[in-house]
């Protein structure tokens, strides 16, 4: 782990949204994982968004991300950037692409289905 106050530039932030936890992972450009951080997944969607933003700002602030990918459970409408249904989470028809993008403040964000990303 880098010393406090040191800013390192890494290419990627991975966010895996699960029914019980959100896993944040930091990757170097060569795909080496250098850090990870877990938080419980709130059942309330607005609290979830706040948790993503707070974690990125407070726990991962020593990194500068140029891109992020969020693995989302359930059915995603890619044209609209919305998640239609989440399986084990009670959220429906939310603009998850825009909402997480706002929490990450300028980091290029990609979203995709978690199972398909795991298969990659």
Tell me the DSSP string of 39-70: EEPPSSHHHHHHHHHHHHHHTSTTEEEEEEEE
Q: How far apart are CA 84 and CA 34, in angstroms?
A: 33
Q: Please report how many Cα atoms fall inside a 13 Å half-sphere around the Cα of residue 89, on the Cβ side.
A: 27
Looking at 6-10, 41-45, 93-97, which range is the least confident one? 6-10
Q: What are the backbone dihedrals phi and psi of residue 53, each rounded to the nearest 5 degrees, phi first?
A: -65, -45
The pLDDT-based confidence of 86 (bands split at 50, 70, 90) is: confident
State yes or no: pLDDT of 78 exceeds 80: yes
Task: Name the percent of the chain lying above pLDDT 70.
Answer: 92
SS3 5: coil
Q: What is the pLDDT of residue 114?
A: 92
The order of strands in the sheet holding 82-86 is 75-77, 82-86, 89-94
pLDDT tens, residue by residue, 4-36: 565 555 579 999 999 999 999 999 988 899 999
Which range has highest mean pLDDT (58-62, 83-87, 89-93)? 89-93
């Amino acid at each position: 782990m880098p010393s406090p106050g040191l800013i390192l530039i890494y290419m990627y932030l991975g966010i895996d949204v699960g029914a019980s936890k959100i896993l944040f992972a930091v990757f170097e450009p060569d795909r080496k994982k250098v850090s990870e951080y877990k938080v419980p997944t709130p059942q309330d969607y607005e609290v979830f968004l706040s948790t993503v933003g707070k974690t990125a700002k407070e726990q991962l602030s020593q990194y500068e991300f140029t891109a992020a990918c969020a693995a989302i459970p359930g059915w995603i409408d890619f044209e609209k950037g919305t998640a239609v249904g989440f399986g084990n989470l009670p959220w429906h028809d939310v603009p998850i692409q825009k909402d997480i993008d706002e929490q990450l403040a300028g980091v290029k964000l990609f979203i995709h289905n978690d199972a398909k990303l795991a298969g990659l």
